[in-house]
Amino acid sequence: MLRDEHGMSLAGNEVKYGDAHSKIEEVIKYGFNSDLLIAEIRNDKDEIYFREFGKNQNPASKADISSRLIYEYEIAALGKLKWVEINDKKNYRPMVVARGLLALTLIGLFITLTVLTISKKNVE
């Protein structure tokens, strides 16, 4: 999810733009420089496209940020961008499972040690 300084969603799951005719499923990566941000996006139709976000130049609009669809060949003309890959959340799932199993193991060990300690005191 890409957000502006006010926390409003610019690009992310379920965000929809009128000119795209579909919802964003995933932000694959984004590139930026001091003037703009470009997001590579996969939509709910499994199409890949790019969206440019920049300072709104329309004086009649009250929006701070403007957004438009752009083609891949237009990106080179925008100047040098620093690109950031966004990792798929599915990559984190094994880590969460491993952490959960470790927590259960430690809790089980604690309970076992507590029961053994109490049993040992009762035998004496």
Q: Are residues 63 and 107 in the same domain?
A: no
Q: Are residues 79 and 56 in the same domain?
A: yes
Q: Are residues 93 and 82 in the same domain?
A: no
Residue 43 belongs to what domain range? Answer: 2-86
Nearest to 22 by CA among 51, 47, 2, 50: 47
12-46 residue pLDDT tens? 555 555 555 667 778 888 888 888 888 888 888 88
Q: Are residues 68 and 99 in the same domain?
A: no
Q: Are residues 20 and 46 in the same domain?
A: yes
49-82 residue pLDDT tens? 888 888 877 788 777 777 788 888 888 888 888 8
- To the question of pTM greater than 0.85 for the whole model, the response is no
| Secondary structure, 3-state, the chain | CEECCCCCEEECCCCEECCCCEEEEEEEEEEECCCEEEEEEEECCCCEEEEEEEECCCCCCCCCEEEEEECHHHHHHHCCCEEEECCCHHHHHHHHHHHHHHHHHHHHHHHHHHHHHHHHHHHC
